[in-house]
Amino acid sequence: MSKILLTALFLFPAVCSAKFINPMEFDGSEAQKSEVIEYIKDRVYKDYCESELKMCQDTVLRMMERENLDAFKEASQAKDERIMGQVINDYCDSDLDMCNYSTINMMYKENLNSSKESLKW
């Protein structure tokens, strides 16, 4: 019985998909770096291999993985928690299912810029 439990404990992380890490809560630890990498790889695979896009080519996957990692690194330097929280809520915690770091970073920057503007004649 204990061998079964021990085996299950070792296999559990391998069968669970990586969890989303809020870029503003990133602490730089090796554990979080690994989690971000796994999330990006899982998400890119889902977006390009399991969706209607059907662009499941190694070149596309690696390019999008790099783009998402670069976006995550940039987003981890964000300062406005309210805007980041709203973007994550809109794109990750909704039916949109567009929870990738490229989208999050792009929309964070757009919303940050828009928050400093007002309509003028």
Q: How many CA atoms lie within 13 A of 62 on its CB side?
A: 3
Q: Where are the chain's structural domains?
A: 28-109
Q: What percent of the chain has pLDDT over 70?
A: 87
16-74 pLDDT, tens digit each: 579 999 999 999 999 999 999 999 999 999 999 999 989 999 999 999 999 999 999 99
Q: How many CA atoms lie within 13 A of 90 on its CB side?
A: 14
The pTM of the full predicted model, rounded to 2 decimals, is 0.84
